[in-house]
Amino acid sequence: MKRNPIAITIGILLLLIFLLMFFFFQVRITEVAVVTTFGQPTRDVVNPGAYLRLPPPIQQVYKFDRRIHNFESQFEQVFTSDGHNLLMRVYVGWNIAQPKLFFPRFADSVSEFEKALAGLVRNAYIGVAGSHPFAHFISTDERQLRFEEIEREILQKLQSDVTSKNYGVDVKFVGIKRIGLPESVTKLVFERMQSERQLLVRRIESEGRREASDIRSEANLQSSKLLAEAEAEATRIRGQGDRQAAVSMHVFQQDPELATFLIQLRALEEFLKSRATLILDTQTFPLNLLKGSSPSTSTAPKISPK
């Protein structure tokens, strides 16, 4: 009987594969596993890779998701230390760290665990919220706002609770997802906001009026000041003219009588320059010449200017 060596090698290889399947198991990076021996959890596997085990039914492997899960609490009422009513909802990031502890309590049910977690989370945030005044939750003053501190305190409380319960779970972070007010309070807030708005409207309108009238009166003041200044300047200029003219005055002082005569004549002529109606006595010079009488300068022409 001829034995094919290839067939033998293949046979051995197949046997090996079969044994490997029985004695090894693989843990993915996203998983942790627990090995049970006769039903008792005996070994945690928290690093990825391939591992040895005894074949079932001696040892069995249970795998768990090791990734961080997102748990969200209810939107629940809490009381602040100064007696305000707040609604609060938090989210929690947690993962399974020690399956050996987790497995006996919750088997492989994440939802079972989350039921237990819900109670712990609720305790933690109600307790922490009760030790802070309302202003630590909402405040325009950054120094008063303690959002991150509150989250940190909830996290610490939750971590110590979870650790003391020995659930084999790590709580990674806690954040506030929502804060709100009870429904009846929102109504009051709306009423207050409404009256605030009305107040604001009135304030803005009166501010506008005041600002506008300020601008107008400022402008009035400025314009009358400009005019007064201009008037003063014009007067100054005229005075300057008077002084300049006075320089020429000494010429007239050589014969004031002639100067007065000349200026009067000029003034008379300027005065009667256009559209004048003259009503003359026939005795007036030079009409008296017509009658042959001697020239007289006593009577001046009657004048009726336009």
Partner 1 sequence: MSNGLDLLEPKRRTEPQGPPESPEDPGSEALSDALKSSFAIVRVVLVILVLVFLGSGFFTVGPHEKAIILRLGKPVGKDDKALLGPGPHWAFPYPIDEVVRIPVTQAQTIRSTVGWYSTTAAMEAVGTLPPATESLQPATQGYVLTGDGNIIHVRGDLRYRIAEPGLTYALGFANASNLVLNAFNNALIHASASYTADNVLSRDVAGFREKVRQRLEAAVARQNLGIVVDQVDVRAVAPLKLTEHFAAVSGAEARRAKEVTEARSYANELVNRARGEAAIRIGAGETDRTRLVEFVSAEATRFKGLLPEYEKDPELFRNLRRSETLQRIFTNAQQKIMMPPGVQRRIQIGRDPDPIKPLTPPRVEGH
Q: Which of residues 10-29 bind partner 1 (CB under 8 A)?
A: 10-11, 13-14, 16-17, 20, 26-29
d(C-alpha 168, C-alpha 144), whole Å: 37
C-alpha span between 104 and 96 (Å, rounded): 13
72-91: contacts with partner 1 (CB under 8 A): 72, 75, 87, 91
Query: Binders of partner 1 among 37-66, rule CB under 8 A?
Result: 47-50, 65
Q: Provide the CA 296 distance to its chain's centre, in angstroms.
A: 100
Q: Please count the residues of this chain forming the interface with partner 1, following the rule CB under 8 A.
A: 132
Considering beta carbons, is residue 40 or 79 the nearer one to partner 1? 79
Contact criterion met (CB below 8 Å) for 202 and 102: no
107 binds partner 1 (CB under 8 A): no
Smaller CB distance to partner 1: residue 50 or 164?
50
Beta carbon of residue 34, minimum distance to partner 1 (angstroms, whole number): 16
| 279, 292, 294, 298: residue in contact with partner 1 (rule CB under 8 A) | 279
- Window 283-302: residues binding partner 1 (CB under 8 A): 283, 285-287, 295, 297, 301
149 to each of 127, 138, 139, 145, 160, how far by Cα in Å? 14, 13, 14, 9, 16
Among 105, 122, 165, 172, the residue binding partner 1 under the rule CB under 8 A is: 172
**71 contacts 92 by C-beta, under 8 angstroms:** yes
Q: Which residues contact 98 (CB under 8 A, 6 or more apart)?
A: 44, 46, 168, 169
Q: Is 178 in the site for partner 1 (CB under 8 A)?
A: yes
Identity of the residue numbered 60: Q
Cβ neighbours of residue 186 under 8 Å, at least 6 residues apart? Answer: 180
Please identify, using beta-carbon distances, which residue of 40 and 172 lies nearer to partner 1.
172
